[in-house]
Structure 1
Amino acid sequence: MINLKNLTLRRGAKVVLQDASVTLHAGEKVSLVGRNGAGKSSLFALLTGKLHPDSGDAELPPRWRLAEVAQNMPETDEAATEFVLQGDTPLMEAREALAAAEATGDGHAIAEAHQRFEEAAGFDAPARAQALLLGLGFKPDQLDQPVNSFSGGWRMRLQLARALMCPADLLLLDEPTNHLDLDALVWLESWLKRFEGTMLVISHDREFLDAITRVTLHLDNAQLTRYSGNYSAFEAMRAERLMQQQSAFERQQDRIQQLTRFIDRFKAKATKAKQAQSRVKALERMEKLAPVLTAADFSFEFREPESLPNPMLSLKDVSCGYRGEASETVIVRNVHRSVLAGQRIGILGANGQGKSTLVKTIARALPPLGGQITEGKGLAIGYFAQQEMDVLRPDDSPLDHMIRLAKEVSPQAREQELRDFLGSFRFVAEMAYQPVGTMSGGEKARLVLAMLVWQRPNLLLLDEPTNHLDLATREALSLALNEFDGSVMLVSHDRALLREVCDEFWLVSRGGIAPFDGDLDDYQRWLLDQAKQQREAASASAPATASPNTSAEAGGANRRDERKAQAQARQRLAEQAKPLKKELAGIDQRLAALGTEKAGLEEALAGGSLTPAQLAEHGRRLKAIGDEVETLEERWLELSEQIEQLGA
């Protein structure tokens, strides 16, 4: 298990952790949540040994293998499959041992190296690596392409696949969904559910965390608090705790005011001076509870559109794509669709099918290659580009952007009005003058949102608006979109946002667009089926891997390894379920005893021979039994669900 004891960690002058303690058990899947800048990535660096605590202890099992997604962009001409294979460190060590043994000609060493290679599942490793790549959205013809032929986002997918390839005891994932679209995200979610080791994940995707984690670790004010349950359960428990904390703070402030009034009134009177002094000491000793900020960190709303044309726009036989100097590349063709006032459309489709191309064409960022787009009178488009820098200038400040925008849509705006408006989006003081190129991804996204709000659009085109937003800002965006009076077209891999905002979906697939007849759950099942078919096709066409053993021997070894792994998995699950079953049995015994006691009390009450004092005592006891039974039944349900999940 992972055990942090009284841990203090500083980064420069900032205290990331202060006397923090927490225990994480083997096999637990944990989400690490907290504000941006709270120190989540620093905690990951501590677990991997890149940082060391200033005081306290961080204990990890010494034999654990750790895997994490490297954040650097790889520069190599190795084939994609080979690059991913190198993430399997036991396999790479077995390869090196085999090569060294063969170089010496030592028959005994060669035999041992073969055995080691077999134990590392080296024969089916290329197929496993390619299954990871296909699941993350790579095409079959890309599996052997050189790494440096891919763009930055795809290289980060390669780094993710390389981390998943490692047979790790502890898997650390820092924003693994940032470069994934919905189809790859659904596949990753399914893969991580089957992962048997311990996992810590940082993510701003609520549904992703809900699906794969059962423990939530909250980093706040340099402290770590463990919550049992996924992110939604954490939110509910956190809200309850905040309400209790706020109530305690308010009671404490009342007490402080009482003590202060007494001290002020009587400190000058000789007869009361001693009592006043004692209250001064009580005031000094009283624990100062920090006030709880129950309000959201950030909220905004879209301004009411000046008009709502209906339809907003109409596409007739439209072709979308890119026009070069000598040729055209059509990605989506024969589009016949209309967007009506008030529609909330989610645009679905696998990566590369043309979702962003369609949005860019409607946003006038790309000209249509054919057909006709008819815009309604008074159409005002607000466009959030997937790459924020497509609409931002790196050398200009937020105030520069707003001044330029105000000249286009509101010539009467004064600079102070623009600064106040930026302040409502957390661009305060000097941040209003900071060059955009030096800002974080989340700050750039907030600036684009501010510019959208200022324009008062009636049609919002949003292409992956949540890529750099934290959970609080995503929630604010969802609320603002639900209150928006105009139409919305949304491309996003954030399923929570799609569910909360959209009431219909378009599917971009095979060069065309059609309504998707189903909800988001139906689409996820469709994606998993597609991914399964791709993996099966790739496995069927994968070439045999050269090895010193025959294919029959390799097949037998693989089956033996599979049976051994299954037995080990069953043993681990039995060990994890044992304490849960023991506690469940104890609860059953206690509930039976309480039931017997309750029946006896009720029988005595019905007899009518009790004194008033006995009646009162029996009533109090029945109330206590009812409260205890309710608590035990809730715990019984929680344990039963955990045991059921282990069995599944």
Structure 2
Amino acid sequence: MATYVDILKSEFPEIDTELFQYITGVLASGGPDFEDGEEVYEAIGEVLEQGSGDTRNQDDVREICFQMFNTLQLNSHRGSNQVLLDAPVMLSQMSADNGSAAEDVQSGIWMMKRDKSTMVNAKKLEKAEAKLKQKHTRRNEKDSNKTAAPIVLEEASASQASSKKEKRVDESGKNKSYDIRIENFDVAFGERCLLQGAELSLSFGRRFGLIGRNGLGKTTLLKMLANRSLRVPAHISILHVEQEVAGDETPALQSVLESDTVREGLLGEEKRLNQRIANGTSDGMESIRLTEIYGKLEEIDSDKAPARASVILAGLGFSPKMQTQMTKEFSGGWRMRLALARALFAKPDLLLLDEPTNMLDVRAILWLETYLQTWASTILVVSHDRNFLNAVVTDIIHLHSQRLDSYRGDYENFIKTKEDRMKSQLREYEAQLQYRQHIQVFIDRFRFNANRAAQVQSKLKLLERLPELKPLDKEIEVTLRFPDNFEKLSPPILQLDEVEFYYSKDKLLFTGLNLSADLESRICIVGENGAGKSTILKLLMGELTPVNGIRQAHRALKIGYFSQHHVDQLDLNVCSIELLLNKFPGKTEEEYRHQLGGYGITGELSTRPVASLSGGQKSRVAFAQMTMPCPNFYILDEPTNHLDMETIEALAKSLNKYKGGVILVSHDERLIRLVCKELWVCDVGKVSRVEGGFDEYRDILQEQFRKEGYL
């Protein structure tokens, strides 16, 4: 195998001898201390670019440095330590002289010391060696820290400027406004600053969509508002839909009714008063109090509450039978829906929703969009669903660069307004830059002209007074890589023929199921939760065996599977690099970093415990893990959960470029429209194809809502 010396000679045949000796000396002395190819490039890259007499660009030189790093790593793994001697020595002769058996040494091994005239000057290596020593020290510290488990996750914190006047007004109860305005506040997560000097203004009755890249602090901001770490007037009620309902013996409908604490309190007091009257322990005041209670119950339409709660539950997918089931009988996903139903029924002054569409199917999302359009109080919702935001919100709040920017209108209006702002800021930046350059030209031209000295001084002062010129904040474009370096497979690729399946004999799930897919397939499976979408995926993957019928798959088919519960399949106690190392051993750290970098997990993110990453960042790690073996077919179950909109767009582009087959289950309307050519609707024990695509499916659902009276 080629050594770094061989690579250097072959890639730079015209390299100067002294420069060659210098570079090989740096690599020889620092080989064990280089942590990755980037450090090799930092040590010798600039020297190669400037002094090699070659016309290679920066990326080419960096790639060569990575190759040399791999040879250094190989040598260190082999444990090869070369010793250079002043004169040739025959080891077999040495063995004989020492009284050892000469025949144990089968052949002579010669080692020669390099002539001092060809050695690198030690002074030239001094700087490189000092740098390597520092890296070695840091690595030792890092290794010692690794043994100091357990991992302590960072905590979020918030602080804000406040005045005594605001506190007095709030505590006095004179503040009757339901508008929320929080000025000059900071939010941090551990040592990382998420927001600095930010302002948040929420006008009562408006619906705000909070958007921004994964990991910037959207969920953290909602939590700071929910626990009042950021000051919200005390009279404003807040409800944050974050955790699923605890499972107990309470029926689902009753659980929703109990979320209205005012109504429950009045009904409880009514019951106690009637018991006292019936028991003969009345003091005569019960009748007066009961009259007041009945008046308040009538005022809040208490008698209509069960019907309203039932409509909310039905809209979110709970059948009449499910509404009578105990909460402990539901899965986590359905308990999250129940938590959302409780919040919608309780009608808080400020409703905080974090990715509400993640737990819903397309049918429930369409219902929720319509329901929230008539919401009377304030909503702040974090969502990645572009169509949901367009249907629901009246304002957009954009979190970026540690600040919050507000825009009137829905998401599409935000995109247009943001582009207009960027163009305006770019024109202003270029105009200021040109003005500065014009002044600087005058200064440079007449700097040594005595007659113009006063004017030059004036221009210098003018230049100093100008505000600092800051370049525009441009967000880095998100890219995802789905490698497709595999051979094309001839059909049939994957199919189900006359498949029948059930989990229990008394409940047949599918019968006569005939489905097929190939490497050109872009299929989306839709349907209500519980209709069997995930079961179809498992039948296609071979994880479930049909009761009757046949699953056929090409012998070279390699499926990559993304589960909607992918976070449960990740080891949260290690960093992303270690995660890939444990799953796919035998590769270099640089290869693992390169794989993660293709999904936006770069630099410090790749060395942090997976548990400390945001939901979207964990999804990206799962993508990196799924694509590492280069599958030729992907089955994706709710891949957009927790992803920001930029990453969803990148996911769509990557899937469209990918040369293998794709079947996905998704509720994200935009992803379906961008990627899928075929729609399979899962309903009542069968799977049918919708010829008109998503538009036809949406029309079918809305017609069902009208017939069932949910709208």
**Do the two structures share a fold, i.e. TM-score over 0.5?**
yes
Q: CA deviation at 1:15?
A: 5.5
How far residue 463 of structure 1 moved from its aligned partner, in angstroms, is 0.6
- The equivalent of 1:388 in structure 2 is 566
Deviates more, 1:153-162 or 1:29-38: 29-38
Q: Distance in 2 between matches of 1:335 and 1:305?
A: 32
2:666 partner letter = S
Distance 2:300 2:439 in 1: 70
For residue 681 of structure 2, the aligned residue among 497, 503, 507 is: 507
> Is the aligned partner of 1:300 residue 2:480?
yes
1:43 Cα offset (Å): 4.6
CA distance in structure 1 between the partners assigned to 2:315 and 2:651 by the alignment? 30
What one-letter code is carried by the residue in structure 1 that aligns with 2:483?
Answer: R
- Work out whether residues 205 and 494 of structure 1, in 8 Å CA contact, stay in contact via their aligned partners in 2: yes
Shift in CA distance, 269/42, structure 1 to aligned 2, threshold 3 Å: farther
Query: 1:263-278 maps to which residues of 2 (within 5 A)?
Result: 274-278=454-458
Structure 2, unmatched stretches of 5+, are 1-177, 278-285
Mapped contact 1:321–1:369 kept (Cα < 8 A): yes
Give TM-score, length-normalised by structure 1: 0.72
| Higher alpha-carbon deviation: 458-467 or 425-434 | 425-434
**In structure 1, C-alpha distance between the alignment counterparts of 2:589 and 2:235, rounded to whole Å:** 61
Partner of 1:497: 671
Tell me the secondary structure at the aligned position of residue 302 of structure 2: coil
> What residue number does 1:244 align with?
424
What is the deviation of 1:505?
Answer: 0.5
1:98 and 2:267 matched: no
Q: Distance in 2 between matches of 1:295 and 1:63?
A: 39
Number of the residue aligned with 2:289: 109
- 2:499 corresponding residue in structure 1: 318
Determine whether 1:332 maps to 2:510.
yes
- Contact kept in structure 2, 1:8 and 1:16, CA below 8 Å: no
| Mapped pair 1:469 → 2:469 | no
Contact preservation (8 Å) 2:244, 2:338: no
Rate the CA distance shift 1:287–1:91 in 2: closer, same or farther, 3 A.
same
Match of 1:593 in 2: none
- Work out which of the residue numbers 185, 207, 216 in structure 2 matches 1:8: 185
* 1:537-616 → structure 2 map (5 Å cutoff): none
> Equivalent of 1:351, from 529, 541, 546?
529
SS at match of 2:259: coil
Map of 1:455 onto structure 2: 629
Contact 2:214 2:617 in 1 (8 A): no
When normalised by structure 2's length, the TM-score is: 0.66
| CA–CA separation in structure 2 for the residues paired with 1:494 and 1:227 | 23
How far 1:101 sits from its partner (Å)?
A: 3.6
Which of 288, 300, 316 aligns to 1:136? It is: 316
The structure-2 alpha-carbon separation of the partners of 1:15 and 1:133, relative to structure 1 and needing over 3 Å to count, comes to: same
Structure number with bigger Rg: 2
Gaps of 5+ in 1: 537-648
Rounded to whole Å, the distance in 2 between the matches of 1:282 and 1:39 is 40
Q: 1:76 and 1:272 mapped to 2: Cα distance?
A: 87
Match of 2:597 among 399, 423, 430: 423
Aligned partner letter, 1:448: A
Partner of 1:87: 259
The alpha-carbon deviation at position 283 of structure 1 amounts to 3.6
Measured against aligned partners, the alpha-carbon deviations of 1:266-313 in whole angstroms (never above 9, x if no partner) come to 667665554444444434333334433445442123233523333422
Q: 1:111 corresponds to which letter in structure 2? A: T
Please, what is the CA RMSD of the aligned residues? 3.3
Aligned AA (1:520): F
Q: Which amino acid in 2 is paired with 1:521?
A: D
Does the 8 A contact of 1:313 with 1:340 survive in 2?
Answer: yes
Q: Letter of the 1:460 partner, please give it.
A: Y
Q: What residue number does 1:365 align with?
A: 543
Choose 39-48 or 448-457, whichever is displaced more.
39-48
Q: How many residue pairs align between the two structures?
A: 524
Letter in 1 for 2:625: M
Please point out which of 328, 341, 347 is paired with 1:148. 328
The whole-number CA distance in structure 2 between the counterparts of 1:246 and 1:367 is 60
Aligned-partner Cα distance in 2 for 1:249–1:369: 68
Identity of aligned residues (%): 35
2:634–2:663 CA contact under 8 A, matched in 1? yes
Greater relative contact order (CA < 8 Å, ≥ 6 in sequence): 1
- Provide the secondary structure at the position in 1 that maps to 2:303: coil
Q: CA offset at residue 85 of structure 1? A: 0.7
The match for 1:443 is: 617
CA distance in 2, matches of 1:485, 1:303: 9
- CA shift, 1:486, in A, is 2.5
- The verdict on how the C-alpha distance between 1:41 and 1:433 changes in structure 2, with shifts beyond 3 A counting, is closer
Q: 1:631: which partner in 2? A: none
Q: Distance in 2 between matches of 1:504 and 1:377?
A: 25
Matched, 1:215 2:395: yes
- 2:373, 2:195 → 1: CA distance? 30
Determine whether 1:521 maps to 2:695: yes
- Structure 2 SS opposite 1:74: coil
